[in-house]
């Protein structure tokens, strides 16, 4: 769905840059090398991940060698991957992409506030557009980071909970914010997984394999317009495309 939608994002939405969180691409957990190559070949400019980043061990080589994919910046220094990347639009505007992992109901990680402060201090002054993907469970984590980074980055966009939120706004300092950009995948599901096995395990505690569902496939995302001279956001809005609209 993502790869098929890139042409619409470029031509109709007139997107100058496309960033995708791809951590659920490999049957719901992780990213393979083949999928990475397919997503990049389709026209996606940068890729972020999250708590499932290393579920497919093969991706470690891509994380270390490629310049358009990042790990959460608050992971250990020794963890495979870069803590940020800088990609360019077709017009040559540099854009910094940063990923962070939240701490509420998530795996133990270093402080995301300290990590993003460190990364921002490393960015060249000419890189005004700065996008932060906060992969977190709690809206409190995301709201706190959004307010902390207001005026310091172009956008703080949440991922991980799979459900698009209706709280997109631009904070007083010029930072665009949304708690969760939503899921690209099958919406006739429970967070992308087949409904019946999830319900059965929930009701009986009988373990089941939670297979990825396949029906009512949609793309969800967020668009942001920004001033490249200041890095401040001008507009923000939601994207919701259905593969087979009725």
Query: What is the rounded average pLDDT of the residues 86-93?
Result: 95
Burial class from Cβ neighbours inside 10 Å (0-12, 13-18, 19+) for residue 150 reads middle
Is 52 in the active site?
Answer: yes
Q: Lowest mean pLDDT: which of 84-88, 216-220, 241-245?
A: 241-245
- Select 2-182+216-242's CATH number: 3.10.20.740, 3.50.50.60, 3.60.21.10, 1.10.357.10: 3.60.21.10
Does the pLDDT at position 245 exceed 80? no
Task: Give yes or no for a contact between 151 and 174, defined as CB atoms under 8 angstroms apart.
Answer: yes
What confidence tens digit (pLDDT) does each residue in 109-154 have?
999 999 999 999 999 999 999 999 999 999 999 999 999 999 999 9
Task: Give residue 4's region: left, alpha or beta (phi > 0; psi -120 to 50).
Answer: alpha
The pTM score is: 0.94
What are the residue boundaries of the structural domains of the chain, listed by start? 2-182+216-242
Q: Which of 52, 135, 160, 162 is catalytic?
A: 52
């Amino acid at each position: 769905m993502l790869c098929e939608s890139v042409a619409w994002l470029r031509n109709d939405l007139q997107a100058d840059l496309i960033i995708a969180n791809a951590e659920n691409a490999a049957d719901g957990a992780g990213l393979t090398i083949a999928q990475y190559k397919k997503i990049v070949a389709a026209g996606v400019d940068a890729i972020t991940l999250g708590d499932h980043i290393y579920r497919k061990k093969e991706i470690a080589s891509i994380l270390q060698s490629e310049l358009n994919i990042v790990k959460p910046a608050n992971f250990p220094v020794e963890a495979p991957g870069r803590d940020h990347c800088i990609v360019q639009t077709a017009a040559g505007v540099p854009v910094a992409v940063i990923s962070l992992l939240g701490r509420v109901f998530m795996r133990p990680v270093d402080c995301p506030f300290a990590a993003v402060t460190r990364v921002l201090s490393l960015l060249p002054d000419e890189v005004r557009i700065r996008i932060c993907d906060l992969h977190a469970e709690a809206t409190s984590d995301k709201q706190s980071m959004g307010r902390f980074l207001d005026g310091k980055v172009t956008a703080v966009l949440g991922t991980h909970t799979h459900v698009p939120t209706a709280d997109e706004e631009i904070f007083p300092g010029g930072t665009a914010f949304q708690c969760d950009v939503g899921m690209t995948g099958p919406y006739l599901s429970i967070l992308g997984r087949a409904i019946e096995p999830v319900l059965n395990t929930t009701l009986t505690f009988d373990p089941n394999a939670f297979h990825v569902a396949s029906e009512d496939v949609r793309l969800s995302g967020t668009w942001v317009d920004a001033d490249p001279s200041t890095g401040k956001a001008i507009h923000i809005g939601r994207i919701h495309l259905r593969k087979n609209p009725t």
